Amino acid sequence: MSDREHRVYEITVGAAHDGHTVRSVLQNELKFSRRLVRNLKLRDGVLVNGQPARLKSVVHLGDRIHITLPQEDTHIDAEPMALDIRYEDDEVVVVNKPPGMLSHPSSKERTGTLLGGLTAYLRPAGQVPHAVHRLDRDTSGLILYAKHSHAHHLFDQALRSGWMHRTYCAVVYHREAFTPPRLGEWRTIDLPIAQDPNNPTKRVVAASGQRAVTHYQMMDATDQVAVVQVVLETGRTHQIRVHFAAVDMPLVGDRAYGGPVWRRAAAHPAAAAFLAFPRQALHALQLTWKHPVTGEVRRVMAEPPEDMRTLWREAGGDPRVWDRLLADPFAAPPGWRL
């Protein structure tokens, strides 16, 4: 059990750990990282039955282990701001990020970031936010932050192990004379992504890159654009944007990867809306995760923002597509159920 105010864990030794060392219990029962265990050793942060204990001490059935996590510091300036919090527990907080806001400071912009706002929000409880994943500045939607380094370790491992699913929705152009997939039919883009050798801030599809896998299904389409639901299997930088551009279905508003499709769309009656849309039309719709210690499954969602709804409506799209997304927001490709 965790104590939010003091970052404390207390566990009672069960039969599975009878006769094991304190170190073994911390690493196997609570999934503490080796680095955190070393820090606890240096700070005398472990008690057994109320008495200071060494990591190599042997514990027995019924012993109570009390762990106080080390105090954390951060170099991020606290910036109080309004936050759209969609979920919170002792270990994580999920925030719905508006478009146009940086998730974290950059070398050129140090203030006005979501991380600064969460630093101010968590500071009274003595906690420090850690981003488990990130969103581009102009992508809206859900981001999960851990409240301390141990939770960050747990959820980083969960993400890497496939215990966390990220579902997005996007408005994309589609090819002329293109036969779209049937509604509800999942398709996969499996193309490696590397840093653009001519522009280090961009990414390209290249054989030398890291494997990147994107699953998607088309929810609805007009003659020029479609709403797609997207599930990431990997999480490369700009993955969704690069992948959809690579199959000639770039995101509406994506000035970095939009390419020649923009010129084809110029003759459409809604061209002004397409070309004026100020960001890539991408929203992080839903997060689903299985807690790496308790095994509990959590699902959180954030409805698509009004700018994407307006874009779709002006393109002649059926507004009921958003109702379908929200009615079954936890859909995933076969084999991806938690």
94: CB partners within 8 A, 6+ apart: 85, 86, 87, 88, 142, 143, 144, 145, 287, 300
- In terms of DSSP H, where are the helices of the chain? 22-28, 34-43, 114-122, 149-160, 239-246, 261-265, 271-276, 306-314, 320-327
136 is catalytic: yes
- In terms of DSSP H, where are the helices of 219-296? 239-246, 261-265, 271-276
CA pair distance 225, 252, nearest whole angstrom: 8
CA pair distance 196, 204, nearest whole angstrom: 5
For β-strands 282-290 and 140-146, DSSP reports them as parallel
Q: Using alpha carbons, select from 124, 117, 123 the residue that is nearest to residue 102.
A: 117
Chain centroid to Cα 301, Å, comes to 12
Q: Using alpha carbons, select from 113, 108, 77 the residue that is nearest to residue 95.
A: 113
109: CB partners within 8 A, 6+ apart: 102
CB 13 within 8 A of CB 62: yes
Q: How many CB atoms lie within 10 A of CB 185?
A: 10
Phi, psi of 64 (to 5 degrees): -110, 125
Rounded to 10 degrees, what is the CA torsion of 312, 237, 74, 41?
130
Strand partners, 12: 64
136, 156, 220, 254: the active-site residue = 136
Chain centroid to Cα 256, Å, comes to 22
What are the residue numbers of the active site? 136
